[in-house]
Amino acid sequence: MRRLRRIVAAAFRPLRGRDVALRAAAVTFYGGIAVVPVALLAIWITGLIAGADRVRRLTGHTIAALPDAIGAPRALESLINAGLHLTPVLALASLLPATFYGEGLRRAFVSLRDSNESLVGWRGRVLWLPLLAAAPALLLALFLALPVTSGLWIRGGWYSVLGVVLSFLAAWLVLTPVVIWVYRAVAPGRPEWLATVLVGSFTAANISGFLHGFVWFCSFPLDLGVPFGGFTEIGGMVAVGFWLYMFHVILLTGYADNQSASTYQRARRARTLAAAEASRESRSGSRSDPESPEPTSSSGPADASSRAPAAP
């Protein structure tokens, strides 16, 4: 248990003395600006590649399978239709707010490292662009899995359990390269590849489960407008914002774990190199210092016989 506590403490050491809640709230602000433009651009480009009718057909089963207690299917259907009807001018206008998310992530990561780098916002925006370019491929891969998982969910019983498992795995596989890129490229410091792949994959699994928890939350028959004087739209925005906030808490925690794992990997590599260097020096020293000297002419048998007294 003491060893486990040490490992956990070392993993979360970069968060010690940091207000993670405040940083997660700051990234959520940027995410609130960027989430709809990012989704619209990804859906628009996916529609251009695969065809609008195919996107509607692939997502139709999911819209039908989503719980409609708080209007999640209507919101998703409206978002998909808006993305498919996007014009090039509106897509160009959505590009600027879509890059705000990269800026927010970069600023949060830099604040956890006490770095004084310049152009933090622009670095984050530029490094976020490759993910926007890859979003259609990732989204299409997820769309191809949706009819199967949604069909199993509608059948009920153990088929629903299988549908949830397959949906979790599909979201995990799609999110893994995204999180790895965020930790490796968008975040500063260039962490080690092995640590980034392992921690990024584990964080993606947690995010996938978290997103499925949000779908489960949508099945609750809640009146989201009650705390806000009956304004259901405001309650819905606050609920989405809260789930985004928790999403970023997971993401920032994974970033801290990635930094700790990278530090451990570098220290272990340094110890291995030092031990190899010490062993090499030890072997070279043993070759240059033999244990017993070779006999010389002054101490050999011939010299001894020459010093013997002559016979009378």
Residue 6: inside a domain: no
Residue 290: inside a domain: no
pLDDT at res. 311: 46
User: What is the number of helices (H) and of strands (E) in the chain?
Assistant: 11, 0
Rounded distance, CA 70 to CA 67, Å? 8
Tell me if 149 sits within 8 A of 163, measured CB to CB: yes
Rounded distance, CA 254 to CA 262, Å? 12
Residue 78: inside a domain: yes
Dihedral sign of CA atoms 233, 235, 239, 245 in order: positive
Residue 108: inside a domain: yes
Tell me if 265 sits within 8 A of 190, measured CB to CB: no
Higher-pLDDT residue of 72, 111 = 111
Q: How many domains does the chain have?
A: 1
Task: Name the most confidently modeled range: 7-16, 134-143, 302-311.
Answer: 134-143
- Residue 188 burial (CB count, 10 A): 17
Rounded alpha-carbon distances, angstroms, from residue 34 to 20, 40, 101: 21, 10, 6
pLDDT at res. 11: 66
Collapsed DSSP state (helix, strand, coil) of residue 81: helix
Higher-pLDDT residue of 305, 165 = 165
Whether the per-residue pLDDT at 304 is higher than 50: the answer is no
pLDDT at res. 116: 75
Rounded distance, CA 221 to CA 168, Å? 24
Whether the per-residue pLDDT at 249 is higher than 80: the answer is yes
Domain that holds residue 28: 18-269
| DSSP code for 309 | P
Collapsed DSSP state (helix, strand, coil) of residue 170: helix
Whether the per-residue pLDDT at 7 is higher than 50: the answer is yes
Residues 6 or more apart in contact with residue 241 via CB below 8 angstroms: 28, 32
Residue 42 CA to its chain's centroid (Å): 19
Task: Name the most confidently modeled range: 181-190, 263-272, 281-290.
Answer: 181-190
| Whole-number percent of the chain with pLDDT over 70 | 87
pLDDT at res. 61: 77
Residue 129: inside a domain: yes
Whether the per-residue pLDDT at 164 is higher than 80: the answer is yes
Residue 119: inside a domain: yes
Q: What is the CA radius of gyration of the chain?
A: 31
Whether the per-residue pLDDT at 88 is higher than 70: the answer is yes
pLDDT grade for 68, boundaries at 50, 70 and 90: confident
pLDDT grade for 18, boundaries at 50, 70 and 90: confident
Taking residues 177-189, report their average pLDDT.
Answer: 92
Higher-pLDDT residue of 115, 270 = 270
Taking residues 99-114, report their average pLDDT.
Answer: 89
Tell me if 238 sits within 8 A of 180, measured CB to CB: no
Taking residues 192-219, report their average pLDDT.
Answer: 91
Residue 293: inside a domain: no
Residue 145: inside a domain: yes
